[in-house]
Structure 1
Amino acid sequence: MVTFLRKRALTSLLPLVVVLLGVFFLARLTGDPASLYLPENATEAQKETFRAVNGLDLPVWQQLIDYLQGILRLDFGTSLSTGESAAAMALRAFPATLQLAITTMLIAVVLAVVIGSWAAYRPNSLADRFASFLSMTAASVPDFWLAIMGVWVFAVMLGVLPTSGVDAGLLSWVLPIATLLLRPVGVLTQVVRGAMVAALSAPYVRLARSK
């Protein structure tokens, strides 16, 4: 058991390191943080001060070492835009994130069971093909594109839903839930349909129907 856990820990360590390095280098490919976060009329002296305060004037290898050492100490730094601790910001958003994830998965499971069972009741029928087409499409739509289009259509063009925040009550949950719901419903519907088709064609089910 200990050997298995050690192997799994080592196997999971490599993707974690890749993600950490990817975050570090991708953040530096977006441009000079001093130009991104300071006002457009900021002087060069103000930019130099900003870089010095946030350690951005150091060589990249030194920034990487400081970044990894901070992660090992569970110190994820501060926000460049607000100056607030990154860990505090994440913890403040965690309850809403957890509530959104639980709500989305509950709705996804219910819809997947209903749609998958409906499709499996008559395999290869029009309803089955239609449900399979919709589920495959839902599982293939990129979440980020759906989120952008949802904000553009329903928040910007129609103005019926908020673009962000939770101040609008239940309306604030519509776009996030709809965006996160589509892919799980598509994947789970395919799983439920396959399991239901296999179960309905089992010998004991055919015997029960014949009786």
Structure 2
Amino acid sequence: MIKLYGAPPTRVLRVIWLLNELGQEYEIQPVDLLKGEARREGFLALNPAAKVPVLVDGDLVLTESAAIQLYLAEKHPEAGFIPESLQERAQMYRWIFFLMTEIEPPLWRIARHTFLYPQDRRLPQDVELAKRECREMVDVLERHMQGREFVVGDRLSVADFNAAYTLDWVDEEKLLDNAPRLRDYLQTMYARPTAPMRIAEAFAAMEG
């Protein structure tokens, strides 16, 4: 059985979503980052970067949430989450990379300088810069999604499952206020019966 290391609200949710969509059985191995469990010897043997998620599928050990999403979609082509045409695949990769390299990094900066770093290492001024940069990149995606149901083409692809989690994170930081199309898209995606819990739900469960 597939093993998935990590726990919500981390990017493990991206992988859970694909596994749910594909109807795959999997076993979650919780890893508490705040308790330093990702830096224990056993976990570092799986991922020396000390980050989640990690997927173990037979002999394959795979890290990086987007790479895992793409692997699962390619392993199950019958689901149709990888576009058939080269051009649409190229656009799928484009938007996945955009989400991971343009929208996600400022979100990480906000997280680091609000609660992850010790108080003496936090830079409040960087939080404001990161929010501005995130809004600018969200606006790019907002314009792209005008008149579109899906990120690429006329059906769901890996880009959509990547985007939904990323935009939920953006929403947690209250940075979707000027993106009505993306807010509607986010609600539609999370209305799917296979959608994982939202980030806010995961935080609430941790506090409860």
Greater RCO, 1 or 2 (C-alpha within 8 Å, sep 6+) = 2
More strand by share: 2
Q: Give 1 or 2 for the bigger CA radius of gyration.
A: 1
TM-score with structure 2 setting the length: 0.24
TM-score with structure 1 setting the length: 0.24
